[in-house]
Chains A and B, each alone.
Chain A
Amino acid sequence: NAGVTQTPKFQVLKTGQSMTLQCAQDMNHEYMSWYRQDPGMGLRLIHYSVGAGITDQGEVPNGYNVSRSTTEDFPLRLLSAAPSQTSVYFCASSYSGGETQYFGPGTRLLVL
Chain B
Amino acid sequence: EDQVTQSPEALRLQEGESSSLNCSYTVSGLRGLFWYRQDPGKGPEFLFTLYSAGEEKEKERLKATLTKKESFLHITAPKPEDSATYLCAARSGSARQLTFGSGTQLTVLP
Contact = CB atoms under 8 A, between A and B. Distances in A.
Interface of A: 4, 31, 33, 35, 40-45, 48, 50, 58, 90, 92, 96-106
A66 B49 CA distance: 29
Contact of A98 (B4, B32, B45): B32
Contacts, number: 59
B32 to A, nearest CB: 6
Contact of B46 (A48, A98, A101): A101
Contact of A100 (B31, B34, B43, B87): B34
Interface of B: 4, 9, 31-32, 34, 36, 41-46, 49, 87, 89, 91, 95-98, 100-103
A58 B97 contact: yes
Contacts of A90: 43-44
A45 B9 CA distance: 21
Contacts of A105: 42-43
B74 to A, nearest CB: 21
Contact of B102 (A41, A102, A104): A41
Given A42-B87, A48-B97, A50-B96, A106 B102 contact: no
Nearest to A100: B46
B86 to A, nearest CB: 12
Contacts of B87: 42-43
Given A40-B102, A98-B31, A98-B91, A45 B97 contact: yes
Contact of B43 (A33, A40, A41, A103): A103
Contacts of B44: 43, 90, 103
Which interface residue of B9, B31, B44, B100 has the most chain A CB atoms within 10 A?
B44
Contacts of B36: 103
A4 B46 CA distance: 13
Contacts of A43: 44, 87, 89, 100
Contacts of B45: 103
Contacts of B46: 100-102
19 contacts: A40-B9, A42-B4, A42-B100, A43-B44, A58-B97, A90-B44, A92-B43, A96-B96, A97-B96, A98-B95, A98-B97, A98-B98, A99-B32, A100-B34, A100-B49, A102-B46, A104-B43, A105-B43, A106-B42
